[in-house]
């Protein structure tokens, strides 16, 4: 799933977030009483892992749900009123890493709620990140994660959780990788 791979990418960037290290890196940074929407839930791996740390998933959706309890929805079609009606405090997902859609998700989601997105750590060091940095509040380094079920091999790219929020301002906080 990285930029240095010869493997054919999965359609719609369907790489499940089953590696529990993703949730364990994020959990200490979630607000107490976090009630979240997972808009790219797939098979709900990230949902289960975050709930193990006490976060509450109010709704899990995906354009192509892969399990019961994940509802079919194009997350980009949601409105602020839709999100408000759910009572969620945060949006948390491992989004599509394709830049056009990723950047659209940053703008769409972070206008409605504080939004945690998991993607490659290198992104923040590129020119393409510049238009989105005013909305970036926090970066939590994760390291390399396993993306292919049935293997213990990690991806070739380091990952980070990015907190975007258009409704608040302030400096970007960077949290280095914890030993795992």
- Give residue-wise pLDDT tens across range 32-57: 999 999 999 999 999 999 999 999 99
Residue 127 in this model has a pLDDT that exceeds 60: yes
- Where does the pLDDT of residue 20 fall: very low under 50, low under 70, confident under 90, or very high at 90 and above? confident
90, part of any domain = yes
Q: State in Å, rounded, how far the first CA of the chain is from the last one.
A: 22
Q: Is the pTM of this model over 0.95?
A: no
- The domain total for the chain is 1
2, part of any domain = no
Q: Is the dihedral of CA 149, 155, 160, 165 positive or negative?
A: negative
- Per cent of the chain over pLDDT 90 is 72
Alpha helices in 27-125 (DSSP H): 45-51, 80-86, 99-110
87, part of any domain = yes
68, part of any domain = yes
**pLDDT at site 79:** 96
Distances (CA, A) of 40 to 2, 14, 152: 19, 9, 23
66, part of any domain = yes
Residue 9 in this model has a pLDDT that exceeds 70: no
- Across 167-176, average pLDDT: 93
Residue 17 in this model has a pLDDT that exceeds 80: no
- Where does the pLDDT of residue 88 fall: very low under 50, low under 70, confident under 90, or very high at 90 and above? very high
CATH of the domain at 40: 3.40.50.150
What is the C-alpha separation between 161 and 54, in angstroms, rounded? 18
152, part of any domain = yes
- Give residue-wise pLDDT tens across range 59-86: 999 999 999 999 999 999 999 999 999 9
- Give residue-wise pLDDT tens across range 138-152: 999 998 886 566 666
7, part of any domain = no
What is the C-alpha separation between 21 and 44, in angstroms, rounded? 15
- Per cent of the chain over pLDDT 70 is 82
158, part of any domain = yes
DSSP 107-151: HHHHTTS-EEEEEEGGGGGSGGGGGGGGGEEEEEEEE----STT-
36: helix, strand or coil: strand
97: domain range?
13-175
């Amino acid at each position: 799933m990285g930029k240095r791979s010869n493997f054919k990418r999965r359609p719609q960037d369907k790489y499940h977030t089953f590696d529990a290290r993703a949730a364990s890196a994020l959990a200490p940074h979630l607000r107490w009483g976090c009630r979240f929407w997972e808009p790219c839930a797939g098979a709900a791996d990230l949902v289960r892992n975050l709930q193990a740390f006490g976060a509450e998933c109010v709704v899990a959706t995906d354009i192509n749900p892969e399990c019961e309890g994940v509802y079919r929805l194009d997350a980009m079609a949601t409105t602020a009123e839709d999100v408000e009606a759910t009572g969620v405090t945060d949006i948390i997902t491992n989004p599509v890493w394709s830049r056009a859609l990723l950047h659209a998700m940053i703008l769409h989601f972070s206008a409605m709620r504080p939004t945690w997105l998991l993607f490659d750590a290198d992104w923040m060091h590129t020119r393409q990140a510049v238009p989105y940095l005013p909305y970036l509040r926090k970066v939590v380094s994760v390291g390399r994660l396993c993306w292919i079920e049935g293997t213990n091999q990690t991806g070739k790219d380091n990952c980070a959780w990015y907190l975007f929020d258009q409704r608040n301002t302030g400096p970007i906080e960077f949290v280095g990788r914890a030993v795992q």
